[in-house]
Amino acid sequence: MKFSSILRYSVLAIFNAGSIYLIPLIITFESWFLLTVLVFVTFLINFTYLTDKFAALKWITPGVIFMFSFVVFPAAYNTYVSFTNWSTGHILTKSQAIDLLEARTYTPDDQKGVEFDIYIFENNTDEYYFAADLAQDQLLFGKAVTQDEIDKASYATHEPSLKSESGEILTPEGLKLLAGKDQINKANKLQELSLVIDSSTRAQLYKISVFGSSTGRLLSTSQRYTYESEYDSLIDNSTGEICSSDGDNFVCNTESVDPGWRIFVGSENYKKLFSNQRIRGPLELVTKWTFQFATLTVLLAFTVGLLLSITLNKEKLKFKRIYRALYILPYAIPAFVSVLVWKGLLNPDYGVINNWLDPLYTFFDIEPIKWLKTKESARAAVLLVNTWLGFPYMFLITTGALQSIPKELTEAAKVDGASGVQSFWRITFPLLMVSISPLLIGSFAFNFNNFTLIFLLSGGGPPVIGSEVAVGWTDILISFSYRLAISGGRGNLFGLASSVTIIIFGIVLLISAISFRYTKRLERIYGNI
C-alpha cells in the first residue's frame, strides 16, 4: 500500500473516531442541529475520500467545509440571533429555564433560625458523629458528612437510648465526646460537616460552647417552584401563588421571575434601534463617526502613501531601497503592538509626544493636549495612529500601480505640451485608480470594522456624558455592538448587538456595490489607454 493511502486512511480513522466520540455528547446536550451537521460532514468526508468516483471533490471539500464553518454558519447564526430576544436573563431555552427554576430551594418560615443542642463525637479513624437534641422526645444521631457525601449519606436515626432519664447525653461505644476546646481546634473541619435528617433537611454546627453543649441549626430547603405543563404556569410553593407565562418569562404578582428564556421576536430588535430614542441617539452618533473615521483614514493613508510612492518613483533618486524598507517597517510590526506603543506615547501625563510638544505649549502658553481624554483629541489620535498603520500598505500598492503604468503615456503627454501636474491628474491618477480602487474599497470595509484599533487605543472613549446607553466618542459601529453584547453595563443584549452587525454588513455591502460600479466605469473609460 502506498504511503499516501496509509496517511489518508489514518487521518480518516482519527476523524471518524472523533466523530463517534462527539455524537453521544451532542445527544446529551440535545443539540440536534449540531448533530445533523456532524453526521452530514462525516458522511461527506468518508464518501469523498473512500471512493475514486469524485476526484475533484477531494480538493474542494476541505475548502467548502471551512467556508461553511467560519463564514456561512457564523453569518447565518448571527442573523438568527438578531431576530431573538437573546440577552441577559433570556439566554436559556424554555426547558432549561424551567429546570433551573425547579432546582431552586427555600427555607420554610417555621424552620428559619431553629436552634438546638448538638453534641459531637469522634472515633479512632477521625470520623465524626452528631447528636442533635431537637426536642425532649427526639434525639437524632448519625454520621456527619461533607457536602460531597450528602447524596450518599444515610439519614440520621432517632436514638432515645443515648439520653439518660436525667437528660444527660450518653457517649456511644467506640466514640468519644469532643470537648469545647477540641471543637475550637477542629472548627474549620467541623463547620463543613452536616447531619442528614431527610432529603431536604440537614443539621449543622452553628456555635461552639466551651461550657456545656454546642448549638446547632437546621439547614432546611424545599423546592421553591413547580412547573405545571398543562397550564404552562409556575407554582411558587413558598407563597402558593400561580405564576403565568407572558411569552419569555414567568410573572408572579406583576414581577418577572428570572431567568426567562429566548424566543423569536421577529423585527423587534431592528424596530428598537430606530424607534427607541435611548438607543437611536447613540446609534446615529456612532454611525456618523464610523463613516467619518473610515473615509478619513483611507484618504489620509492613501494620500501619504501616494506622495511617498511618487517621491520614490523618481529614477535618479539614491538609496530608494533603504527608504522603501523604512517606510514599510510599520507594516511589518503587528498592529496590536503598534497600537499599544502609541497608547503609551499619547499618555497625556507621561507620554513622549507631549514631552516633545512641551516647548510649543510653553511658547504659546496653552494647556497640553489631553490625548484620548476629550472628544476632539481622542478622535485625532485615533486617525493619527490609524494613518501610521495604514500608509505602508497604501505605499506598497501605489508603488506597484505606478510602476505598471507605461512611461510612453506620460512622455507623449509631455510632447503634447502637458505639464507634470496635468499629466499626473489626466493620465497617471485615473489609471492608478483603475488598479487600486478595489483595494481602496477593501481598505474602507476593513476600517469600517476596525475593532482592534478602537478597543486597544481608546476603548471607544471618552464616554458620552448623559447617554442612557454606554457609548464613547470614538466608538464605531462594531465597538458599539461589542458594548451592547458584552460590556454595556446593563446586561448583555446579544440580539440587539447582532442586529447592529447585520446593519453594518448591509452598509458595507451597499458601499462596495456602488464603489465597484464606479470602478467598472473607470475601467471602461481608461481600460483601452
Q: Hey, what amino acid is at 49? A: Y
DSSP string, 240-259: TEEEEE-SSSEEETTEEESP
Grade residue 144 by pLDDT with cuts at 50, 70 and 90.
Answer: very high
The type of residue at 419 is S
Q: pLDDT band for position 522 (50/70/90)?
A: low
Question: Quick one: pLDDT band at residue 528, thresholds 50, 70, 90?
Answer: low
How far is 212 from 123, CA to CA, in rounded Å? 20
Residues pairing with 225 in the sheet? 236
* Residue 288 Cα distances to 293, 377, 477, angstroms: 9, 17, 9
CB contact set of 409 (below 8 Å; sequence gap of 6+): 427, 428, 431, 529
Alpha carbon separation from 201 to 106, 158, 197, 224, 248 (Å, rounded): 11, 15, 5, 14, 33
The size of the chain, in residues, is 529
Highest mean pLDDT among 69-78, 80-89, 158-167: 80-89
Is a pLDDT exceeding 80 seen at residue 228?
yes
Distances (CA, A) of 214 to 113, 131, 400, 425: 15, 11, 87, 96
Which pLDDT value is given to residue 462? Answer: 92
Q: Residue 251 — pLDDT band, cuts 50, 70, 90?
A: very high
The answer, yes or no, to whether residue 319 has pLDDT greater than 70, is yes
What is the 8-class DSSP label of residue 405? Answer: S
pLDDT band for position 526 (cuts 50, 70, 90): low
Phi, psi of 254 (to 5 degrees): 70, 5
219 touches 204 (CB < 8 A): yes
pTM: 0.76
Residue type for 423, please?
Answer: S
Q: What are 188-213's pLDDT values in tens digits?
A: 899 899 999 887 788 889 888 877 78
Q: What is the per-residue pLDDT for 490? A: 63
For the chain, how many helices (H) and strands (E)?
A: 19, 15
Average pLDDT, the chain: 87
For residues 349-387, b (16+ Cβ closer than 10 Å) or e, as one string?
eebebbeeeeeeeeeeeeebbebbeeeebbbebbbbbbb
Is pLDDT at 529 greater than 70 in this prediction? no
Q: Does residue 486 contact residue 498 with C-beta atoms inside 8 Å? A: no
DSSP string, 84-97: B--BTTB-S-HHHH
Three-state SS sequence of 114-158? CEEEEEEEECCCCCEEEEEEEECCEEEEEECECHHHHHHCCCCEE
Give residue 382's pLDDT.
96
Q: pLDDT of 232-249, one tens digit each? A: 999 998 888 999 999 899
Which top CATH class is 277-526? mainly alpha
